Every structure is written in C-alpha cells, then in structure tokens.
Amino acid sequence: MSHDVSVIGLYILDVLGRPVDAIPPGGSVAFIDEIRLTVAGTAGGTVVDLAKHGLNCLAVGAVGDDEKADFVLATLARFGVDTTQMQRLAGVPTSASILNIRRNGERPALHQRGASDHFDIIPETLDAVLAAPIIHLGGTGLLAKLDGEPSAKLLAEAKRRGRTTTFDLLGADDNTISLVAPLFPHIDYFMPSVEEAQAISGATTVEGAGRFFLDRGVKQCVFTLGGDGVCFMDNKGAVVRQPAFEIEVVDTTGCGDAFDAGFITALHHKMDLKTALNFAQATAALVATGLGSDAGVQSFDHTLEFMNTAKVKG
C-alpha cells in the first residue's frame, strides 16, 4: 500500500471534559456538559485530521499494552489510518492526558508519560516508514528514546531519499534547543507555536525567532500565532503574515496539530502558499469550535468550504 504521508512520533489518548470551572472539593461531584476520548498528540492528532482530509496515512509510534492502547489503535483504524507500524510495547502504559477545558477554551492538563518515551524506529522498518513523499515528525520533548540525534538521523535519511519533511514539537524548556538543533538542517517546514519558537530561540519577535531557525538550516518556518493568525518565513527572505478566522472558541486542544494536518494536506494538493496557510488555519479553527483535537474537521471539502466562507479577523 502506498501512503501520502508518514506521521511519526507522539500518540496520546486524551480524556477531555468541559466546561470545568473548578475541581470539586473533597469527594464531591460537579456536573459538566461533555466528556470525550480522542487520539491526540503531535503525531496522533495530526494523523486523524489528515485522514479526515482524505490522505492515505501511515501512523508510526507506540502504545502500551493497556485498554488505552485498544482505543487508540481501534480509533486510528476506524479513520482508515494504516497502523502496521504502530508498536505495542509490553510493560508500559499508553501515553495519556486528562484535560479540564475552561469556558474560555484554556486547557490545563494532567499528563502520564508512557509508551511514547520508549518508542524508536526499528531499523528493518525504515523502508516502510520513509516510503511516503511527506514525512511528519511530531512530539519532540516527549519522545525520550527518539529525541535528539536519533531524530536527526531519521530526518536526514528522509531527506536523502528525497522526502519533504515537516516538524513540530510539544512545549519548550531549557533542554529543547539541544534536542532540536541537530534536526534543523533536515527540516523543510518547522511548524511550532510562536511561544515555542521564541522560548527556544530566545528571540522577542516573530521575525527574530524565524531568523534564528533559518540561520541554522531550517528551510521554512510556519509559526502559529494563536488568535493573531500565522507567519511564514523562508530562507530566501520571504515573510508572509495572514490573520486568523473569526470563531467562537470552545477548546484549543489540538489546534497546532490540526494546523500541521491542514498544511500537510495543502502540500499534498500542491496549493499555493497563501491558500496553504489559509487551509491550515481553517483546519485549526474548525478544531477550536468543539471538544478535542479532531473536533469540527469533517472532510477536505468541508474545510475548503469553511476557508472560503468564514470571516477573517480584522
């Protein structure tokens, strides 16, 4: 089976509830409107939205040997994602998060690190993992075994084989630069949030952050700016900003992963830059209108219609 994209990295089970105004005291109960289980993570959330957009996807990651793994694998299969390269690891739990979604869409999280920390690419699977024309690596920072030099070797091999590489991470701390710096020369599209980009680079402006990564080998930066839209920069000097869509925010969980999926979908369809950025933002906006990292996204045509009809800020 040929794939349009391989999505490598962090696969999580999310348990989400909304609206959560406060954790009840003691052993008391508070009633909320909605609880969902979703496949999430910088790879998992992305691959589900890619599949909804009609791409033929290969999921490459790890789950544990628990009931959470059953849900993750069954859900990916239900969306038509190829799970033959998902590792099921004995003796460790599936990575999972509990998210308490506030009325304003904020999402304080409780996370259990699990199988994703034990995930690595098995050498004999490399041909299958890197066969697709687009390779997305997502979740650096929560991939203890794959982070750093192993990820750099993986992306370097992808580039050697002529693949387009896209990259995103999860959060940023003092150690992040040491994990991502070896990857920079092998990244075609770096797609973090602007907060992550500035935390890693130490820059105080969007453009300063972009120059930091471009000077170190990244080919193109695509920074999500939350409610302020998106900024694209490349190593030829281009700087393109586009505003976000006006929406009623329910939950921002997975918006970055959805943006990645939208942009990768645009690359697959060879959209021009302006349309690609808009399609990625439309995908993220749809996700923010519901609960969970795949909320709101129905199909390629539905996202295209939203992009062409929704109101833009400003």
Q: What is the pLDDT of residues 44-101, one digit of tens each?
A: 999 999 999 999 999 999 999 999 999 999 999 999 999 999 999 999 999 999 999 9
pLDDT at 22 over 70: yes
pTM: 0.96
How far is the C-alpha of 47 from the C-alpha of 51, rounded, in Å? 6
pLDDT at 174 over 80: no
How far is the C-alpha of 248 from the C-alpha of 190, rounded, in Å? 28
pLDDT at 140 over 80: yes
Q: pLDDT band for position 251 (50/70/90)?
A: confident
**Mean pLDDT taken over the chain:** 94
Q: Tell me the torsion sign for CA atoms 146, 147, 149, 152.
A: positive
How far is the C-alpha of 301 from the C-alpha of 223, rounded, in Å? 25
- Residues 148/178, Cβ–Cβ less than 8 Å: yes
Question: Which residues is 286 bridged to in the sheet?
Answer: none
pLDDT of residue 156: 98
**CA angle in degrees (0–180, nearest 5) for 65-153-217:** 125
For residues 6-34, average pLDDT: 94
Q: pLDDT band for position 308 (50/70/90)?
A: very high
* Alpha-helical segments (H) within 7-56: 44-52
For residues 180-205, average pLDDT: 95
Based on the number of CB atoms within 10 Å of its own CB, is 140 exposed (0-12), middle (13-18) or buried (19 or more)? Answer: buried
For residues 226-248, average pLDDT: 91
pLDDT at 1 over 80: no
